[in-house]
Chains A and B, each alone.
Chain A
Amino acid sequence: DAGVIQSPRHEVTEMGQEVTLRCKPISGHDYLFWYRQTMMRGLELLIYFNNNVPIDDSGMPEDRFSAKMPNASFSTLKIQPSEPRDSAVYFCASRQGLSYNEQFFGPGTRLTVL
Chain B
Amino acid sequence: GDSVTQMEGPVTLSEEAFLTINCTYTATGYPSLFWYVQYPGEGLQLLLKATKADDKGSNKGFEATYRKETTSFHLEKGSVQVSDSAVYFCALSLTGANSKLTFGKGITLSVRP
Contact = CB atoms under 8 A, between A and B. Distances in A.
A26 interface: no
A70 B105 CA distance: 32
Contact of B106 (A42, A56, A91, A106): A42
Interface stretch (A14-22, A60-68, A76-84, A95-103): A95-103
A43 B49 contact: no
B95 A103 contact: no
A72 interface: no
B98 A55 contact: yes
A45 B42 CA distance: 17
Interface residues of B, number: 21
Interface in B57-113: 89, 93-101, 103, 105-106
Contacts of A55: 98
Contacts of A56: 98, 100
Given A43-B106, A99-B94, A91 B51 contact: no
B7 to A, nearest CB: 15
Interface residues of A, number: 21
Nearest to B93: A99
A55 B99 CA distance: 10
Contact of A43 (B89, B94, B95): B89
B32 A100 contact: yes
B95 A99 contact: yes
A56 B100 CA distance: 9
A102 B101 CA distance: 10
Contact of A105 (B45, B49, B99, B105): B45
Contacts of B96: 99
A87 B98 CA distance: 29
Given A105-B44, A107-B43, A108-B43, A50 B98 contact: yes
Interface of B: 32, 42-46, 49, 51, 89, 93-101, 103, 105-106
Interface of A: 4, 33, 42-43, 45, 48, 50, 55-56, 91, 93, 98-100, 102-108
